[in-house]
Structure 1
Amino acid sequence: MRILKIIGKILLVLLIIKLLIIAFFWIKNENYLESTNDKNLSYLKKNKKVIFDKEENQYNLNGFFDKDFYDSDIFLLGENHGFAEIQNIDFELFKHLNQKIGVKYYIAEMDSIRSKRLNEYLNNSIKNNSILESVVIDIKQRIPQQSSQQLFEKWEKIYDYNKTLSDSGKITVLGIDKNFDDKSRNLSRDSIMSLNFKRIIEKRDLQNEKFYGLFGYAHVLQEGYSNNNFRPFAVRIKSFTKKNSIKSLVCYNLDSEVYLPENDQFPAPEDHKLSILNEDGPIMLVKGINDLRELTQPNSVTIFDLDNTNSPYHENQYLGGIKVNFFGPDVITKSSNVFTTDVLQYVFLIRNSKALEPI
């Protein structure tokens, strides 16, 4: 009996310790996120647009962006891979930019071999889905969270849309990432992508063209952050683009599920779906995300312009990066002289996205 009491006390102490650890991280996370900020809320109410809700079941980006936005030359959409709704946003934003200002070059986080196949698929008179399927499956080698049925369906929609365009206005995919079998250079991916992008522009004489692309979140940030002085793709291409010609738009998720295949860094559940990788914690935290929750509804996608007149984001760092607990480094600038709109200019807030589904 005495041994059982000792064991019971040990288990009770371990349980209390576990609960204290959970409480500590919960309080720490809540303090970091904060509740809401009145100044931010006042501004955001006037600079947002619901572009999708499940009842209407269609996207509408018209009437939101201003002349400064459309005058830019490069538009970068940043995502945390694995959320299904982002594939729809990618298609709708690219289509919108094509219709409004004729953007036809899609810069992709893939190598030249895969982009060549995608262009072959887009330009084929018959929709050859075996080509598309091979590209989507190959993407597993670099971005396993993105290789999915929704990615496949997005490029099917781009194919159909491309068929409606004139010969001179057809879409071209520019793959700027490192080839899978290229081991000749010991450079970061962002460095390689920027060099490849510059080389393509010069080789094809595209200096006067506009470009759009979907990348992982960190690649589209326009300032470096606190990970060994990491310089994202968007920072690097500033050196050979016009001043203020890049617009960075990022996707944040709430109440959503993410697709997470087996990997060495994070234990994946049996169905490969997780609901703990939203930007309100416990793993990923975006300071100011509760302001966006306050102003949005479930099952919707809302865009926020952080860079308009009298924006508080010109002088604070809310929404300007992601703090990461347990797995990986923070994606946050440590400089007190860098503000949110120096890093990114627009946020898509996605509520209740489903996870991508493996193809």
Structure 2
Amino acid sequence: MSDYQLKKYLMNNHNKIIMGEEDIQSLSIIDEDLGDKEIFLTGENHGVKANVELKMKFLKYFKEKIDFKYYLCELPYSTAYFINMYLETGNEDILKEVYTALKGTDAWNKDDYSHWKEVYKYNETLSKDRKITIVGIDIEHQPINALKFMKYCLLEKNTHKKIGETHNRIINNIDEIKPKDRFVNSKKFKIFFHKLAKDLKDREIFYRSILKENYFGFKFVNQNLLNMYEVYEGNNFNGIRDNKMYQNFVEIHKKLPKGKYYGQLGLSHIFQKSFPYVNWLGAALNKNTIFKGKVLSIAYVYKNCKYLYPTTWKNYISSINTLDSSMAALEDFINNEYTIFKLNGKNSPFKDKLIWPIAHKFPKDGVTTDYFQYMILIKDSDAMEPLNHNNWQQFLL
């Protein structure tokens, strides 16, 4: 297909996204694909300021159009639990406490922190039966938040005077794990949670009686602490991690009342076809008989943007350009800050060939729409704003 034919198709299948407070009509190009879908995924490269603006835009769009219930996040279960607690109570101290463990991660920025405050305000406008619930499907990357959650589960229904011997033994073991030990290379940490996993299995009835409705979460977080070791110590980080994320999603989905999902994840997680050695989350979902054909993926690509890369010691800001320079047909569409392209329309070349607009993560086979069905071109976005390493809570006051 010539550049002219490709450009002609794109001309008839794109729209400028308007970032007005209430406007969602600029996303109406997606409307015809909503009917038979249940999981809607947008995929980002982390650290770009535009990401936060877009995910709030999509959150409101999908809420109005399909009344999704579950906000799927690239977060551990424990972190999502506490963010849900914040959304229910409005107590920002809970959110601050969660963020203390996120230093050095992609979430360590003012934009994402402010996003949760915006979600809270939006959720407050919804009736009780329509409120959004956060669903965290990632492994437990931050053991500190996982330990806080497990301790909370043990103490929530019990006063210090009433807790039994098993409670005390687990809490004491958790408290003995010093902050400096809370890393994936801690043998003591790993041994403790292997023993706890066995105990949870051998004495399930007992643990159900003391943990009550927290039993699932407690066991789930414990397992994802073990999954953390498997991912970080394995020889296929992406492959193992996405498999764990998929398994986590399936387990949580079984427990939740019926509802649709929207989530913004790292770009590769939303791909609906596997790469060599990596069965991405989106691909695994699309192979599941329950979800096959019910996932819609929207990929973000960047032109002349910047991104934040935080570490525990220093924050770095660099340029990011993921739009493939060979895609000359797209040059006419880079004047807008945000442009959405429908790739699965009538007579789309993206349904017939592997036309790959992303300058990395190259797939080996299939056609473009096997991987994602829409693309958003983001132009001239700044990087997210980092939280201060030493006095970061001053920003939150």
TM superposition score normalised by structure 2: 0.68
Q: Which residue of 2 aligns with 1:319?
A: 356
Provide the aligned length of Structure 1 versus Structure 2. 293
The code of the aligned residue for 1:201 comes to H
Matches within 5 A, 1:24-35: none
Cα distance in 2, alignment partners of residues 333 and 59 from structure 1: 35
Aligned counterparts of 1:350 and 1:151: Cα–Cα separation in 2: 18
Structure 1 residues 176 and 240: CA distance shift in structure 2, 3 A: farther
Q: 2:72 aligns with which of 107, 114, 121?
A: 107
The aligned runs of 1:240-319 (5 Å cut-off) are 240-262=289-311, 272-275=316-319, 277-280=320-323, 285=324, 288=327, 290-298=328-336, 300-319=337-356
Which segments of structure 1 move beyond 4 Å, counting only runs of 4 or more? 56-59
Seen in structure 2, the aligned counterparts of structure 1 residues 139 and 293 have a Cα distance that, compared at 3 Å, is farther
SS at match of 2:243: helix
Unpaired runs of 5+ residues, structure 2, are 144-223, 232-239, 388-397
What is the alpha-carbon distance in structure 2 between the residues aligned to residue 248 and residue 140 of structure 1?
Answer: 29
2-structure distance, mates of 1:307, 1:217? 18
Inter-partner Cα distance in structure 2 for 1:86 and 1:295: 19
Deviation of the 1:174 alpha carbon: 0.7
| Cα distance in 1 between the residues matched to 2:80 and 2:325 | 33
Counterpart pick for 2:382 among 347, 354, 357: 354
Name the residue aligned to 2:220: none
Matched residue, 2:279: 231
Q: 1:155 to 1:293 in 2, by over 3 A?
A: farther
Aligned pairs for 1:74-85 (under 5 A) are: 74-85=39-50
Matched, 1:41 2:7: yes
Q: Distance in 2 between matches of 1:42 and 1:136?
A: 47
Cα offset for 1:296? 2.9
Pick from 54, 61, 69 the counterpart of residue 34 of structure 2: 69
Normalization by structure 1: what TM-score? Answer: 0.75
Q: What is the CA-CA distance between 1:69 and the residue it aligns to? A: 2.8
Task: Determine if contact 2:48/2:381 at 8 Å carries over to the other structure.
Answer: yes
1:318 positional shift: 1.9
- Classify 1:236/1:199 alpha carbon distance in 2 versus 1 (closer, same or farther; 3 Å): same
Q: Structure 1 291/134 Cα, relative in aligned 2: closer, same or farther at 3 Å? A: farther
SS in 2 for 1:302: strand
What residue identity is the alignment partner of 1:84?
Answer: K
Match of 2:18 among 20, 44, 52: 52
SS in 2 for 1:65: helix
Deviation string, structure 1 residues 90-134 (Cα, Å, up to 9, x no partner)? 01101110111111201111111100111011111xx32232233
- Name the CA shift for 1:70/1:287 in 2 (closer, same or farther; >3 Å): farther
SS at match of 2:30: coil
Answer whether contact 1:286 1:319 (CA < 8 A) is retained.
Answer: no
Q: Conserved in 2, the CA contact under 8 Å of 1:321 and 1:333?
A: no
Q: Which residue, 346, 349, 364 being the options, matches 1:334?
A: 364
The residue number in structure 2 matching 1:149 is 110
Find the aligned partners of 1:50 and 1:118 in 2 and give their Cα distance: 33
Structure with more helix by fraction:
2
Give the drift of 1:205: 4.1
The share of aligned pairs that are identical, in percent, is 28
Give 1:157 deviation, angstroms. 1.1
Q: Does the residue aligned with 1:98 lie in a helix, a strand or coil?
A: helix
Distance 1:62 1:347, change over 3 A: closer
